[in-house]
Amino acid sequence: MLRPATIAFALSLAACSAPGPKISAHDAWARETGSADNAAAYVTIENKGGADELIGAKASIGEAMIHESSMDGGVMRMRPIAAGEGLSVPSNGKLTLGPGGTHIMIMGLKGPLKAGDHFDLTLIFAKARAHRIRVTVKPAGAM
């Protein structure tokens, strides 16, 4: 049987062994758009601390959602990630949102995005504080 003191010691150890996340985000970009009122934004999130999750986003130019593109037998599907779910930002690792995969979908644009434009994107995490970054609009041919 464990004595209360032993349990308290074990709990304090557990608390020490889970340091908070240390998030930084960079290389945020989006492609130019045509007539459609939506866009995809891409970003690399780096974490030099404990594990965290990206659970949402807000954009200055429209409604932002985390979307996932997936391939199934040559067919491309794009869906919002399930409600209440997040994308893992591993401890001492990174999460890359890039073309053809998981991205931030922005809907309801008031006008087309032109190369050289900028807008603000706020990344929302389960643990870390929200992170605001500047997204650069690149030519549509960017990869």
Partner 1 sequence: MIGGALLWRQSDAPLLKPVPTQVSFGGPFTLVDSKGQPFASSKLAGKPYAIFFGFTHCPDVCPTTLARLVKLRREVGSEGAFQIVFVTVDPERDGPKEVGNYADLFGAPVIGLTGSTAQIALVKKEYGIFSQKVGTGDDYTIDHTATVLLFDKDQKFQATIAPDEPDETAIAKLKKLA
The single residue among 3, 77, 110, 129 that binds partner 1, judged by CB under 8 A, is 77
Rounded Cα distance, 128 and 21, in Å: 6
Rounded Cα distance, 42 and 95, in Å: 11
Rounded Cα distance, 96 and 34, in Å: 25
Q: How far is CA 94 from the centre of its chain?
A: 10
Q: Which is nearer to partner 1, 17 or 35 (CB)?
A: 35
The single residue among 25, 28, 40, 121 that binds partner 1, judged by CB under 8 A, is 40
Per rule CB under 8 A, is residue 116 in the interface with partner 1? no
The single residue among 27, 32, 46, 117 that binds partner 1, judged by CB under 8 A, is 32
Tokens of 58: 């807000």
Per rule CB under 8 A, is residue 84 in the interface with partner 1? no
Distances (CA, A) of 38 to 68, 111, 142: 15, 9, 17
Q: Among the residues of 17-111, which ranges form H helices?
A: none
Q: Candidates 10-18, 50-58, 73-81, 83-91 — which segment interacts with partner 1 by CB under 8 A?
A: 73-81
Per rule CB under 8 A, is residue 81 in the interface with partner 1? no
Q: How many residues bind partner 1, per CB under 8 A?
A: 30
What are the helix and strand counts (H, E) for the chain?
1, 10
Site for partner 1 in 1-30 (CB under 8 A): none
Q: Which residues bind partner 1 (CB under 8 A)?
A: 31-40, 67, 69, 71, 74-79, 99-100, 103, 105-107, 139-143
